[in-house]
């Protein structure tokens, strides 16, 4: 659905943020873009969803070069959504209901269809309790759920999550992981950025490693995370399950559950 061809991006001040990026988001349903702070993850996401325009190279949407006009971008927005790292960037309205409805209203859906879609996602994400609450009274984790609801209401085929676990406590992180898994089970694709290697290792089915604006490696998590050289170059930590595999000579487990089942 989304691909890039030799994508390059530099900011106004001349900072080169992305260099010759070639990625194909058809490579999985749970794609991870990993890299340390400043590697270019957010910049890449913004290019992929058409918010930023590459200086060189392109983004292809369904094999067509993205055109940066209203009509094309509207068709892209209907299929591709993003949950920003800072929920505040995504909050437009004072109460939860109107906030979730915002993008649907922008896309000029009828108000009765909007109501049905908004009520559906409110139920799905279990946020009935703050439906009529002012968004600015909600906690960071709650705001994040409202932001996700707004994106899910659009029924996008692909959703980007920029650092989805940042600022969440362990319980909320687990909820977020479950929500993302549910989204994929419903047949949607997710693309996540993170520097949390435990999370990426467990969640993703395909990973791109970004370092200083360049993709230095790509592949399935077990390949990427067993490659010390890649982790070192990108300044990333080994996932705990990989550490156990290397130090205890056990099989390579995909998640905590598999590990405990093996121990029994």
Ligand X SMILES: Nc1ncnc2c1ncn2[C@@H]1O[C@H](COP(=O)(O)OP(=O)(O)O)[C@@H](O)[C@H]1O
Write out the residues near ligand X by the rule CB under 6 A: 11, 13, 15, 17, 35, 37-43
Surface-to-core class of residue 14, CB atoms within 10 Å of its CB (0-12 exposed, 13-18 middle, 19+ buried):
exposed
Smallest distance, ligand X to C-beta of residue 127, A? 27
Cα-Cα-Cα-Cα dihedral sign, residues 238, 85, 62, 116: positive
Find which of Mg ion, ligand X, none residue 37 binds, CB within 5 to 8 Å per kind.
ligand X
Find which of ligand X, Mg ion, none residue 211 binds, CB within 5 to 8 Å per kind.
none
Smallest distance, ligand X to C-beta of residue 15, A? 4
DSSP three-state, residue 55? coil
Smallest distance, ligand X to C-beta of residue 193, A? 7
Distance CA 65, CA 59 (A): 6
Find which of Mg ion, ligand X, none residue 164 binds, CB within 5 to 8 Å per kind.
none
- Please identify, using beta-carbon distances, which residue of 86 and 258 lies nearer to ligand X: 86
- Please identify, using beta-carbon distances, which residue of 161 and 253 lies nearer to ligand X: 161
Smallest distance, ligand X to C-beta of residue 87, A? 16
- Please identify, using beta-carbon distances, which residue of 11 and 51 lies nearer to ligand X: 11
- Please identify, using beta-carbon distances, which residue of 40 and 54 lies nearer to ligand X: 40
DSSP 76-135: HHHHEEEE-SSGGGG--SSBHHHHHHHHHHHTT--HHHHHHHHHHHHHHTT-GGGTTSBG
DSSP 156-209: -SEEEEESTTTT--HHHHHHHHHHHHHHHHTT-EEEEEES-HHHHHHH-SEEEE
Distance CA 74, CA 76 (A): 5
- Please identify, using beta-carbon distances, which residue of 160 and 245 lies nearer to ligand X: 160
Smallest distance, Mg ion to C-beta of residue 94, A? 27
- Please identify, using beta-carbon distances, which residue of 12 and 63 lies nearer to ligand X: 12
Distance CA 68, CA 207 (A): 28
Binding residues vs Mg ion (CB under 5 A): 41-42
Find which of ligand X, Mg ion, none residue 4 binds, CB within 5 to 8 Å per kind.
none
Smallest distance, ligand X to C-beta of residue 44, A? 7
Token pair of 148 as six digits: 């996700």
């Amino acid at each position: 659905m989304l691909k890039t061809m030799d994508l390059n991006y530099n900011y106004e001040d001349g900072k080169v943020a992305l260099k010759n990026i070639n990625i194909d988001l058809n490579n999985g349903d749970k794609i991870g873009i990993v890299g340390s702070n400043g590697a270019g993850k957010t910049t890449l996401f913004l290019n992929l969803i058409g918010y930023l325009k590459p200086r060189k190279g392109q983004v292809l949407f369904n094999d067509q070069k993205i055109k940066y006009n209203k009509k094309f971008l509207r068709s892209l927005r209907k299929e591709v959504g993003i949950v920003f790292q800072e929920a505040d960037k995504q909050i437009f309205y004072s109460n939860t209901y109107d906030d979730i409805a915002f993008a649907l209203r922008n896309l000029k859906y009828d108000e009765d269809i909007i109501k049905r879609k908004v009520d559906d996602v409110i139920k799905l994400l279990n946020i009935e309790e703050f439906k009529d609450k002012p968004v600015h009274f909600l906690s960071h984790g709650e705001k994040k759920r409202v932001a996700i609801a707004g994106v899910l209401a659009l029924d996008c085929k692909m959703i980007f999550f920029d650092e989805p676990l940042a600022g969440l406590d362990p319980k909320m992180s687990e909820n977020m992981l479950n929500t993302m898994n549910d989204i994929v089970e419903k047949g949607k694709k997710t693309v996540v950025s993170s520097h949390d290697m435990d999370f990426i290792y467990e969640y993703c089915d395909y990973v791109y490693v970004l370092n200083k604006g360049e993709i230095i490696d790509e592949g399935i998590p077990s390949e990427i995370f067993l490659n010390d050289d890649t982790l070192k170059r990108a300044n990333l930590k080994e996932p705990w399950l990989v550490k156990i595999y290397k130090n205890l000579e056990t099989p390579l487990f995909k998640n905590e559950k598999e590990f405990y089942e093996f121990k029994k």
